[in-house]
Structure 1
Amino acid sequence: MLNVEQIDVYYGHIQALKGVTLDVPHGEIVTLIGANGAGKSTLLKTISGLLKPNRGSIHYTGVSMNGKTAQDIVKAGISHVPEGRRVFANMSVLENLELGAFVRRDTIGIRHDLQKVFELFPRLHERRKQLSGTLSGGEQQMLAMGRALMARPKLLLLDEPSMGLAPLLVKTIFAIIEEINRNGTTVLLVEQNANLALSIATRVYVIETGSVVLSGTPEELVSSEQVKMAYLGS
């Protein structure tokens, strides 16, 4: 579904990504793990058109995404849930969700998807008239995910969905990610909780200082001494 080939990205004179290559097959949950500052968020922003690569190519369903705007990429079927939620704090939950469908014109389909989001996240239905800035961190994470789903993506980019959440809520969020995937959405997940990420992934990439240093199945990476020492606390 997604092919990233030899991507270089710079912030000024600082190179953030160095020849990054990865594939996201249709229907899978692919996870990126790595330390803070390794380049994981930069890669997601580049895929979603918020940053432009200095070199390399990105193809989605066989079509080049190079030069496409972020809006074009959303229309193509890629939605991005950014690190830190980034909800519109002075707007209601419902208004945030409706904004997620800004590229769509199918009113009936939008209403249908709104109900699906409320079924997936019942708390959002309870809070639908509440200002988003007054929600808890976990509720804001649900809202950010629900808002992204309102674009009806085929590929969902998730950046650190567990950040700052209580362990019980993290389990809930990850169960919902698995359900979203079972319902037909491919997922590219950035996550610092490596144990949890490996538990739901079908393929894993390890990024260090802007480069992919390891990749494989979760089973292969769990048996890697390098991964166990650096990311699994063992």
Structure 2
Amino acid sequence: MLKVENLSVHYGLIQAVHDVSFEVKKGSIVSLIGANGAGKTTILRTISGLIRPSNGSITFMDKAITKEAPQKIVAGGLSQVPEGRHVFPGLTVQENLEMGAFLRKDGEIKKDYQQVFEKFPVLKERRSQDAATLSGGEQQMLAIGRALMSKPKLLLLDEPSMGLAPIFIKEIFSIVQEINQQGTTILLIEQNAKMALSIADQGYVLETGKVVLSGTGQELLASEEVKKAYLGG
């Protein structure tokens, strides 16, 4: 579904991503793990069209998207939940969800609202509330729900557990698995390596902008190198 080949990204003279290659198969969960500064967010932002690469190619659903505008990428079926959630303050929960469906012109939007509310009952209870007044966990649910309103085939999740209480982290990862089981492919980046790899079909370890290790989620969980660096073992 997604193929990233020899991707390099610069911020001025600083190279943040070095010849990174990986792929995401339809129906899978793929996790990119690594410390802060490893290049994870830069890779997702480049896939979404928010940053232009200095080299390499990105193919989504057999179509080159390396030079596509972000709105065209979203319309094509790829949506991102950004790090830090970034819900729209001053807009209600309902209005934030409406923004997720902004590019759609089909007749199933109302039905999809209901599906989001079924997945996140707390959002239904707070649908008229200013999104900025939600708790961190509730804002993360809203950010995911907003992305789902674009009907993505591939959902990019950037640090969904960041800053959340353990009970919310467990719930968010359970929801990610449920979304995947209902047919949406997931590309997940996370500092919580244990949680991310435990649900991943495939994983890639990033260090200073390079892929240094790859394997199935279970293979990486069992790796002594990963244990020492990311799992405290």
**Fold shared by both chains (TM-score > 0.5):** yes
**Aligned mates of 1:223, 1:66 — CA distance in 2:** 35
Report the Cα offset of residue 223 of structure 1. Answer: 2.3
Letter of the structure 1 residue corresponding to residue 13 of structure 2: H
Matched, 1:184 2:180: no
**Aligned mates of 1:202, 1:91 — CA distance in 2:** 37
Q: What's 1:126 paired with? A: 125
**Aligned mates of 2:185, 2:222 — CA distance in 1:** 26
Matched, 1:9 2:9: yes
Letter of the structure 2 residue corresponding to residue 130 of structure 1: Q
SS of the aligned residue for 1:18 comes to: strand
Letter of the structure 1 residue corresponding to residue 153 of structure 2: K
Equivalences for residues 153-232 of structure 1 within 5 A: 153-232=152-231
**Aligned mates of 1:160, 1:96 — CA distance in 2:** 20
Matched, 1:135 2:134: yes
SS of the aligned residue for 1:118 comes to: helix
Superposed CA deviations along residues 106-127 of structure 1, whole A, max 9, x for unmatched, are 2x31111111000010000000
| 8 Å CA contact 2:198, 2:218 repeated in 1 | no
Report the Cα offset of residue 226 of structure 1. Answer: 1.1
TM-score, normalization by structure 2 = 0.99
| 8 Å CA contact 2:29, 2:188 repeated in 1 | yes
**Aligned mates of 1:141, 1:86 — CA distance in 2:** 9
**Aligned mates of 2:167, 2:131 — CA distance in 1:** 22
Q: Which runs of 5+ in 1 are unaligned?
A: none
Q: For this pair of structures, how many residues does the alignment match?
A: 233
**Aligned mates of 1:220, 1:177 — CA distance in 2:** 21
Letter of the structure 2 residue corresponding to residue 78 of structure 1: L
SS of the aligned residue for 2:108 comes to: helix
| 8 Å CA contact 2:198, 2:221 repeated in 1 | no
**Aligned mates of 1:9, 1:30 — CA distance in 2:** 21
Percent of aligned pairs sharing the same letter: 61
**Aligned mates of 2:66, 2:173 — CA distance in 1:** 31
Matched, 1:102 2:130: no
Letter of the structure 2 residue corresponding to residue 9 of structure 1: V
CA RMSD in angstroms comes to: 0.6
Letter of the structure 2 residue corresponding to residue 42 of structure 1: T
TM-score, normalization by structure 1 = 0.99
Report the Cα offset of residue 221 of structure 1. Answer: 1.1
Matched, 1:117 2:130: no
Matched, 1:25 2:25: yes
Superposed CA deviations along residues 53-86 of structure 1, whole A, max 9, x for unmatched, are 1100000011100210000000110000000000
Equivalences for residues 17-56 of structure 1 within 5 A: 17-56=17-56
Q: Which runs of 5+ in 2 are unaligned?
A: none
**Aligned mates of 1:204, 1:178 — CA distance in 2:** 15
Equivalences for residues 69-108 of structure 1 within 5 A: 69-106=69-106, 108=107
Report the Cα offset of residue 105 of structure 1. Answer: 1.1
